[in-house]
Structure 1
Amino acid sequence: MRTEIVAEEIALHHAPPRAASCASTITRARDETRAASPHGFQIRPLEPERDAPALHRWFVEERAAFWNMRDKSVDEVAAFYRAIEDSGHAQAWLGLRHGTPAFLFESYDPAHDEAGEHYTVRAGDLGMHLFVGPTATPVPGYTRHVFRTLMAFLFERLNAERIVVEPDARNTRIHALNRAMGFVYDKDVPFREKTASLAFCTRADFYAAIQQDF
């Protein structure tokens, strides 16, 4: 998986006042489709039954090995995301490009997740998993645009203070992308299904990192 950024996107650097908590903002955002990027992306809450067939087609590909869902049926994919929806502390989101599913990400409270067993969770921490769907026509810098879009969404729409990721330690491609977005790696820790690399990104680190592309 998981080049240049157009000038309009830097406007996301100026954060609106953040009075609401991450949880209340997620609840409000579930009922809205948000235009999140000048690159033609929109983000909406994932709908398990509606979106499971498209996700299943993504997950069965060999490139999806680190997502650990290659053996799931369409019904099992839907059930997995219904469980996330019902958890009360996590949410799945679908990114659309010109109306077509393009990427998936999950946001979650690390205090209620395995990640929180391996570090001291701070107020405002928000965990994230990203899966970028296949594209028929490769676009230079596409994955970086996706990543910037969802990071801005997490900070500006979900009011995160710090983003937490725990990719598989063997997933060298995502480590490079994480670092390019401002993530600072902390340590490798034993998760139940993998050895994970814990990394953190503050709002300041993210915007400092993407400004280097200008």
Structure 2
Amino acid sequence: MSFTFRCLDAEADAPLLHSWVTRPYASFWGMQSATVADVAAEYASIQASGHHHALLGLDDGVPAFLTEEYLPGSSPLASLYPVHPGDVGMHLLVAPPSSAPIPGYTAAVMDAVLSRLFDRPDVERVVVEPDVRNTKIHALNVRFGFQPAGTVNLPDKEALLSFCTRADFHAARAAHFPQTSASILQGAAL
């Protein structure tokens, strides 16, 4: 695995994203009945917002996941918790596997996304707010150092608000993934 990131092109990437977000496993993404045009419009709005943007994650040049970064102070979270300087929100959707699932793949993607965020000196804490029913992502978040802070009501869901500091992330990596980041990204099973 060799992950890279590129800016999402809302129009050109909409058919691909549509094929991901309308699958049953992506039900928490909230776009099950979306059309390609709906997906294009949603991501055009995100990319134009100035405080929220989407990136396509590539595995050896092949689209493999979608990640979104946003400023919590410019989102519905602003009124639900005290936003700190250095907070950045994150969403993540891994593409459906093209063949048999690879053990540890989603964890390797999460590691790459969080490493990229924490490599930025302005990021002190990553904020996530997945649907409270999405137990798979809650387990993965905890594994990477996220600390649940409680449930919040957002316009489209009841969410589990969680935070991960740089120190929490590095401690979780050391405890759960003693191999180096490079070995994770080269395909070590987690």
TM normalised by structure 2 equals 0.90
CA distance in 1: counterparts of 2:144 and 2:51, whole angstroms: 25
| 1:47 lines up with 2:9 in the alignment | yes
125-134 or 156-165: bigger deviation: 156-165
**Partner AA of 2:151 in structure 1:** D
TM normalised by structure 1 equals 0.80
CA distance in 2: counterparts of 1:73 and 1:118, whole angstroms: 31
CA distance in 2: counterparts of 1:207 and 1:179, whole angstroms: 13
Q: Pick the aligned partner of 1:95 from 53, 57, 66.
A: 57
| 1:126 lines up with 2:83 in the alignment | no
74-83 or 153-162: bigger deviation: 153-162
CA distance in 2: counterparts of 1:142 and 1:159, whole angstroms: 28
Report what 1:154 is aligned to. Answer: 117
Structure 1, residues 41-91: CA drift from partner, whole Å, max 9, x if none?
A: 111111111111110001111111100011111111111111011101111
Structure 1, residues 112-148: CA drift from partner, whole Å, max 9, x if none?
A: 1012221000000000111011112311100000000
- 1:122 is paired with a residue whose SS is coil
Deviation at 1:158, TM superposition (A): 7.0
Structure 1, residues 11-50: CA drift from partner, whole Å, max 9, x if none?
A: xxxxxxxxxxxxxxxxxxxxxxxxxxxx311111111111
- 1:130 is paired with a residue whose SS is strand
- 1:107 is paired with a residue whose SS is strand
| 1:175 lines up with 2:138 in the alignment | yes
Q: After the TM superposition, which segments of 4 or more aligned residues of structure 1 sit over 3 Å from their partners?
A: none
CA distance in 1: counterparts of 2:44 and 2:20, whole angstroms: 18
Change (3 A) 1:168 1:130: same
CA distance in 2: counterparts of 1:80 and 1:192, whole angstroms: 16
CA distance in 2: counterparts of 1:170 and 1:116, whole angstroms: 22
CA distance in 1: counterparts of 2:122 and 2:55, whole angstroms: 16
Identity of aligned residues (%): 48
Alignment length, in residue pairs?
176
104-113 or 186-195: bigger deviation: 186-195
CA distance in 1: counterparts of 2:77 and 2:67, whole angstroms: 16
- 1:131 is paired with a residue whose SS is strand
- The answer for unaligned runs of 5 or more in structure 2 is 179-190
Structure 1, residues 138-187: CA drift from partner, whole Å, max 9, x if none?
A: 11100000000000111114731100000101111000000000000001
Q: Pick the aligned partner of 2:102 from 116, 139, 143.
A: 139
CA distance in 1: counterparts of 2:121 and 2:54, whole angstroms: 13
What is the root-mean-square deviation of aligned Cα atoms in Å? 1.0
Residues 1-214 of structure 1 aligned to structure 2 (within 5 Å): 39-135=1-97, 136-157=99-120, 159-212=122-175, 213-214=177-178
- The answer for unaligned runs of 5 or more in structure 1 is 1-38
CA distance in 1: counterparts of 2:156 and 2:12, whole angstroms: 28
